[in-house]
C-alpha cells in the first residue's frame, strides 16, 4: 500500500510538471527536444522552423537558399550531436568589389564562445557545395551561430552574398543527432546604420586570416551588443554616407537603401524588395554617418551643410516611424568629426519636433591607436573598436537602463 501511495504521488508530479510546461510555453527548453528532419534525406531545411535568422535575409528564388548579404547577417540554431555540415551557395553580382572576387567569408561560433577571437573562419569559394561548419565536438547539446564576416558593399558595388539551404547533423549516434529547440531572440535589440567603420573594414592587417582585413563582428557596435547581451542588425555600406559618398557624389546612400532588404536583390530581380520591419523591432538605433559625407558636403561642394542637416532630421524621423519604441544615438568621430555641428543641430530639431526626446549624440575621439595595428592606419583597429564599443554600451545603459554584463574569464 505504501508503494502505491509513492507511485500515485510520482504520477501526480509528472502530470503536474507536464501541464506546467504546456501552460508556460516551456515545452522546448534546455532539455533534449528534437526537431524532426523535414527533408526526405534526413536533413533539415534552413527556414524559420529550424533556425533563427540574424539580420536581414532573403529567400532566393533561383537557388532555393536563404541569402545573406550584410555584415553579421546569418543564423543560429541548436542541435544534439558532434558537428554540422551545411549546403551553402554563393551569389556573385555582375560587378564585385574588385577583379577576381568570388568568395565570401563566414564566422562560426560554438555555444557561448561569441567573441571575434573565438570564430572558426571559413572561406566560401564554390558556387554551391557542402561545407563542414564544425566537427569533433563532444556529443551533446550545442548552439551554433553563423555570421557573414566580410563587408557586403562598397559604394554601389556589392560583395558576394552567401546562402544556406540545408543542414546535416553529425553524431556518433545517428538516431540522436538532430536539431533541437530554436534559440530564443534576445530581449534587447540594436541596429547600426553606418559606413566602413560599422561594416568592420580595415580592422585587421593583411597578416590575419587569408588576408581578410574586415570583420563586422569585431566592430564597436558588435562589442556594445555583446556587453549588453543584445541582438544586432548591421546595415553598413563602405564608402557611402547620408547624402554623399567619399567620392563627393550621390551614390547609393544609406537612407535610400535602408527600407529595402539589400542592393544585390535589386540586381537579381530588377526591382527593389522592401524589408519587413516587423521581423526586427530595434530598441536602439545607432546612426554613424557623416565621415564620408565631408567629401561632398560643405561650401563649394555638391551638397550644402543645410541639406545634410535636413536629411539627417528626415532620416531620423523615418527610423522612428518604423521603430516607434526606439531611441536613436548619433555617433561620429572615429575618422573625423567635421559635420558634428550639423548633427548636433539635427538632434536638437528632432527632439523639438517630438513630444518626448528620443535622439542623442555620442562622440568618439579620433582613432586613438594609429600604431599600424589596423589595415590602413586610418580605420579603427580591433582595440580601438573595443574602446568605442565600451563607451557606446555605457551610454546605452545610461539612457535605457539596460545593464552591461561582464563575462567571467
pLDDT tens digit sequence for 301-359: 999 999 999 999 999 999 999 999 999 999 999 999 999 999 999 999 999 999 999 99
- Residues 172 and 199 grouped into a single domain: no
Mean pLDDT for the stretch of residues 185-195: 97
Last residue of one domain, picked from the residues 115, 144, 179: 179
Which pLDDT belongs to residue 249? Answer: 63
**Looking at the domain assignment, is residue 2 inside a domain?**
no
CATH code at position 135: 2.60.120.260
Q: Considering only residues 14 and 185, tell me which one the structure prediction assigns the higher pLDDT.
A: 185
Last residue of one domain, picked from the residues 179, 199, 225: 179
Structural domains counted in the chain: 2
CATH code at position 295: 3.40.50.1110
- Residues 174 and 123 grouped into a single domain: yes
For residue 23, pLDDT over 50 is answered with: no
Confidence category of residue 204, pLDDT binned at 50, 70, 90: confident
Core vs surface per residue 120-153: b (16+ CB within 10 A) or e = eebebeeeeeebebbeebeeeebbbbbbbbbbbb
Q: Considering only residues 160 and 158, tell me which one the structure prediction assigns the higher pLDDT.
A: 160
Vertex 162 angle, CA 257 and 278, to 5°: 45
For residue 407, pLDDT over 90 is answered with: no
Radius of gyration of the chain (CA): 23
**Looking at the domain assignment, is residue 27 inside a domain?**
no
**Looking at the domain assignment, is residue 407 inside a domain?**
no
Percent pLDDT > 70 in the chain is: 79
- Residues 114 and 208 grouped into a single domain: no
Q: Considering only residues 74 and 269, tell me which one the structure prediction assigns the higher pLDDT.
A: 74
Which pLDDT belongs to residue 247? Answer: 72
Which pLDDT belongs to residue 262? Answer: 77
**Looking at the domain assignment, is residue 114 inside a domain?**
yes
Report the alpha-carbon distance of residue 300 to residue 404 in Å, rounded: 45
- Residues 52 and 102 grouped into a single domain: yes
- Residues 244 and 372 grouped into a single domain: yes
| Domain that includes residue 138, residue range | 44-179
- Residues 259 and 154 grouped into a single domain: no
Average pLDDT, the chain: 85
Which pLDDT belongs to residue 408? Answer: 65
**Looking at the domain assignment, is residue 66 inside a domain?**
yes
Which pLDDT belongs to residue 62? Answer: 78
Last residue of one domain, picked from the residues 179, 214, 233: 179
For residue 24, pLDDT over 60 is answered with: no
- Residues 62 and 148 grouped into a single domain: yes
In DSSP terms, 77 is beta-bridged to 144
Least confident of 73-82, 147-156, 390-399: 147-156
Confidence category of residue 127, pLDDT binned at 50, 70, 90: confident
Which pLDDT belongs to residue 59? Answer: 87
Confidence category of residue 161, pLDDT binned at 50, 70, 90: confident
**Looking at the domain assignment, is residue 301 inside a domain?**
yes
- Residues 226 and 207 grouped into a single domain: yes
Mean pLDDT for the stretch of residues 102-114: 91
- Residues 339 and 224 grouped into a single domain: yes
Report the alpha-carbon distance of residue 207 to residue 201 in Å, rounded: 15
Which pLDDT belongs to residue 133? Answer: 98
Confidence category of residue 42, pLDDT binned at 50, 70, 90: very high
Amino acid at each position: 500500500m505504501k508503494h502505491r501511495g509513492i507511485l500515485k504521488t510520482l504520477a501526480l508530479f509528472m502530470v503536474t510538471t507536464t501541464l506546467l510546461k504546456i501552460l508556460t510555453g516551456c515545452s522546448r527548453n534546455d532539455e533534449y527536444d528534437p526537431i524532426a528532419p523535414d527533408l526526405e534525406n534526413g536533413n533539415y531545411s534552413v527556414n524559420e522552423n529550424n533556425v533563427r535568422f540574424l539580420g536581414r535575409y532573403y529567400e532566393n528564388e533561383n537557388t532555393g537558399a536563404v541569402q545573406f548579404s550584410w555584415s553579421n547577417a546569418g543564423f543560429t540554431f541548436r542541435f544534439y550531436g558532434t558537428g554540422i555540415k551545411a549546403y551553402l551557395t554563393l551569389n556573385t553580382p555582375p560587378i564585385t568589389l574588385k577583379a577576381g572576387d568570388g568568395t565570401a567569408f563566414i564566422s562560426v561560433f560554438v555555444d557561448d564562445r561569441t567573441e571575434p577571437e573565438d570564430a572558426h573562419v571559413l572561406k566560401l569559394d564554390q558556387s554551391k557545395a557542402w561545407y563542414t561548419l564544425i566537427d569533433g565536438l563532444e556529443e551533446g547539446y550545442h548552439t551554433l551561430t553563423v555570421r557573414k564576416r566580410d563587408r557586403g558593399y562598397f559604394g554601389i558595388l556589392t560583395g558576394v552574398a552567401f546562402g544556406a539551404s540545408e543542414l546535416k547533423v553529425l553524431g556518433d549516434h545517428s538516431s540522436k543527432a538532430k536539431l533541437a529547440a530554436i534559440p530564443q531572440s534576445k530581449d534587447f535589440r540594436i541596429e547600426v546604420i553606418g559606413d566602413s567603420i560599422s561594416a568592420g573594414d580595415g580592422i585587421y592587417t593583411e597578416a590575419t586570416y587569408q588576408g581578410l582585413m574586415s570583420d563586422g563582428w569585431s566592430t564597436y557596435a558588435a562589442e556594445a551588443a555583446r556587453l549588453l547581451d543584445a541582438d544586432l542588425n548591421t546595415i553598413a555600406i563602405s564608402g557611402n554616407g547620408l547624402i554623399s559618398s567619399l567620392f563627393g557624389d550621390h551614390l547609393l546612400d544609406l537612407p535610400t537603401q535602408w527600407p529595402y532588404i539589400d542592393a544585390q536583390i535589386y540586381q537579381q530581380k530588377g526591382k527593389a524588395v522592401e524589408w519587413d520591419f516587423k521581423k526586427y523591432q530595434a530598441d536602439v538605433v545607432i546612426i554613424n554617418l557623416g565621415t564620408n559625407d565631408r567629401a561632398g558636403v560643405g561650401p563649394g561642394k555638391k551638397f550644402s551643410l543645410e541639406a545634410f542637416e535636413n536629411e539627417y532630421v528626415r532620416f531620423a524621423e523615418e527610423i522612428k516611424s518604423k521603430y516607434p519604441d526606439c531611441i536613436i544615438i548619433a555617433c561620429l568621430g572615429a575618422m573625423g568629426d567635421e559635420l558634428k555641428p550639423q548633427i548636433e543641430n539635427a538632434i536638437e530639431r528632432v527632439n523639438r519636433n517630438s513630444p518626448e526626446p528620443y535622439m542623442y549624440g555620442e562622440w568618439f575621439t579620433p582613432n586613438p591607436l594609429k600604431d599600424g595595428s589596423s589595415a590602413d592606419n586610418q580605420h579603427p583597429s580591433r582595440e580601438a573598436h573595443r574602446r568605442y564599443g565600451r563607451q557606446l554600451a555605457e551610454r546605452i545603459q545610461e539612457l535605457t537602463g539596460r545593464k552591461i554584463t561582464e563575462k567571467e574569464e
